[in-house]
């Protein structure tokens, strides 16, 4: 099947790299390793490195973690250019992007609950991948929308992307292809969705290289679709690096013991030793 959109891996030159932590707790060793890789890749190219606080999720972000995370990053040797930017200061940019999508007829209100989506998504529906939003609210009439609004349930906003085939060449993982569904760009609690904010920000900040954990590999085709529809330049390179795993092969979690920098220094390691171990864990020190 041919792709509607394919993004090749190209040389970012000296365009900035970035790290974009969400202030929802201490960074764990996996986050720190990803941050180190992103930083080192930018500095190896003599490029600026930007820090962006992704405090977009108002329910989970806490102010107290912002400084803690920045301090952890400094301790393992990262530096960045300029002041960190914060997504909570950038709502106007996200609103503008939504207005453009709206003007182009690409948005619609979705009143579905999670449970309804789960139920509907488990039924087979043609081309879309498993778990995809089945398009329940896509063709609601104005009267149906009015009825749902009157019931007091606030709508999320979704984009009309269903069925689009998007691919890209990831610098680490190789070729990735995905069929999109109608994904959320504004949640029903009013928060802007990650995919919208990250696309707007990476474009507005002129980011040339995105290095992040491979848990986000699946989000990139959605972002590429948004770059395209918003008329924004996508970063030249995406590199989704391996997640750090515990000894049991599972994603790093509290039960794996000392997984934060603080816990590591508590057991007698210096931040510099932690940094070396993190880099050695990928055999790239």
Q: Quick one: 218 or 266, whose CB is closer to ligand GLU?
A: 218
Other Cβ atoms closer than 10 A to 281:
15
- The values of phi and psi at residue 33, to 5°, are -65, -45
Q: Quick one: 128 or 207, whose CB is closer to ligand GLU?
A: 207
Q: Quick one: 24 or 188, whose CB is closer to ligand GLU?
A: 24
Partner residues linked to 174 by β-bridges: 170
**In the complex, minimum distance from the CB of residue 41 to ligand GLU, in angstroms, rounded to a whole number:** 13
Q: Quick one: 20 or 224, whose CB is closer to ligand GLU?
A: 20
Whether the CB-CB separation of 232 and 199 falls below 8 Å is answered with: yes
**In the complex, minimum distance from the CB of residue 43 to ligand GLU, in angstroms, rounded to a whole number:** 18
Residue 63 burial (C-beta neighbours within 10 Å; 0-12, 13-18, 19+): exposed
**HSE-up of residue 75 (Cα within 13 Å, Cβ side):** 19
**In the complex, minimum distance from the CB of residue 193 to ligand GLU, in angstroms, rounded to a whole number:** 12
**In the complex, minimum distance from the CB of residue 145 to ligand GLU, in angstroms, rounded to a whole number:** 32
Nearest to 276 by CA among 78, 76, 79: 76
Q: Quick one: 164 or 196, whose CB is closer to ligand GLU?
A: 196
**In the complex, minimum distance from the CB of residue 21 to ligand GLU, in angstroms, rounded to a whole number:** 5
Strands lying side by side in the sheet with 165-170: 5-7, 165-170, 174-179
**In the complex, minimum distance from the CB of residue 282 to ligand GLU, in angstroms, rounded to a whole number:** 18
Q: Quick one: 239 or 264, whose CB is closer to ligand GLU?
A: 239
Sign, CA torsion 130/179/209/203: negative
Q: Quick one: 61 or 137, whose CB is closer to ligand GLU?
A: 61
Residues that bind ligand GLU (CB under 6 A): 20-22, 54, 198, 212, 216
**In the complex, minimum distance from the CB of residue 215 to ligand GLU, in angstroms, rounded to a whole number:** 7
Give the integer Cα–Cα distance in Å for 33 and 79: 14
Q: What angle do CA 236, 238, 239 make, to 5 degrees?
A: 140
């Amino acid at each position: 099947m041919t792709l509607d959109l394919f993004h090749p891996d190209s040389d970012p030159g000296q365009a900035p790299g970035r790290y974009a932590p969400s202030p929802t707790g201490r960074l764990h060793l996996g986050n720190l390793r990803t941050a180190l890789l992103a930083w080192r890749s930018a500095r190896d190219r003599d490029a600026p490195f930007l820090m962006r606080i992704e405090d977009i999720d108002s329910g989970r972000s806490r102010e107290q973690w912002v400084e803690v995370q920045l301090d952890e990053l400094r301790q393992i040797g990262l530096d960045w250019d300029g002041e960190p930017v914060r997504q909570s200061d950038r709502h106007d940019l996200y609103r503008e992007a939504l207005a453009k999508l709206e003007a182009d007829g690409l948005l619609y209100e979705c009143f579905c609950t999670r449970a309804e989506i789960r139920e509907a998504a488990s039924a087979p529906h043609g081309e879309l991948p498993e778990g995809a939003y089945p398009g329940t609210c896509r063709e609601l009439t104005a009267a149906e929308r009015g009825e749902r609004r009157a019931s007091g349930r606030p709508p999320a906003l979704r984009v009309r992307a269903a069925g689009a085939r998007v691919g890209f060449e990831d610098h680490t993982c190789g070729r990735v292809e995905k069929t999109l569904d109608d994904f959320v760009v504004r949640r029903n609690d009013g928060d802007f969705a990650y995919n919208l904010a990250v696309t707007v920000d990476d474009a507005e900040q002129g980011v040339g290289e995105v290095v992040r954990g491979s848990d986000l590999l699946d989000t990139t085709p959605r972002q590429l679709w948004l770059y395209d529809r918003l008329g924004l330049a996508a970063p030249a390179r995406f590199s989704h690096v391996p997640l750090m795993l515990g000894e049991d092969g599972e994603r790093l979690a509290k039960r794996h013991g000392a997984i934060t920098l603080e816990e590591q220094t508590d057991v007698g390691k210096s931040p510099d030793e932690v940094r070396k171990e993190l880099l050695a864990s990928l055999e790239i020190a």
